[in-house]
Structure 1
């Protein structure tokens, strides 16, 4: 997706301030989706970030990011793959 250092910093600050900022995505085992505006891309050039907040471990995992103009929502196969990743993360 081409996140700039500034994009990553803004994302990191927002999630550190409020890890539950994004909406929970059904069928993923707890992943959240957050909309982000990408530097220099205008209003329609935003992206989506899929992440997991593991409160009890005090960890936050960036799982997937994509531009909004490529894909609006996750496919069932993507949700299934993310659910498997989350199951593995929670076993750590």
Structure 2
């Protein structure tokens, strides 16, 4: 199973579409189990469009989810959600904007994850060793809960650009 990040735009779209939380969680579960599902949207830098059934309408009349999956070391980013009646395809301008944004999302996530990992490793060592592993301003060990919270919010911060 793959980690899934619901971006603020995705959550706004889901609310506007009238999705209940259990329906949203089914979408999240689908992408956790099938991270590279859907068809790649040309000109976006790897974004995918997946058709999903909604309330007995079937796939053709259901939802379209725009997602991005780059590899096993990064989560699936759920970027946008459209109902069939709302929107069919992304415009060329939207594709260009998405390509620009996605170019930095993976690097930003990996950079944030690397920093968190360094903090966790350094915090597990005694103070004299920690001094050599981290810059001076980061030498005070942080509680695990704080590190985990930072780790969870890091990809969302990168995804807020979307």
TM-score (normalised: structure 2): 0.51
1:77 maps onto 2:96 in alignment: no
Tell me the number of residue pairs that the alignment of Structure 1 and Structure 2 aligns: 91
Q: Secondary structure at the match of 1:54?
A: coil
Could you tell me how far 1:9 is from its partner in structure 2? 1.5
More helix by share: 2
Could you tell me how far 1:91 is from its partner in structure 2? 2.4
Measured in 1, the distance between the counterparts of 2:21 and 2:92 equals: 31
1:8 maps onto 2:24 in alignment: yes
Structure 1 consecutive aligned stretches of length 4 or more whose deviation exceeds 6 Å: none
Cα deviation, 1:7-65, whole Å, max 9, x if unaligned, reads: 2111111111111111111000000100122236x346511100001214331111111
Preserved contact between residue 51 and residue 62 of structure 1 (Cα < 8 Å): yes
More strand by share: 1
Query: Aligned-residue CA RMSD in angstroms?
Result: 1.8
TM-score (normalised: structure 1): 0.84
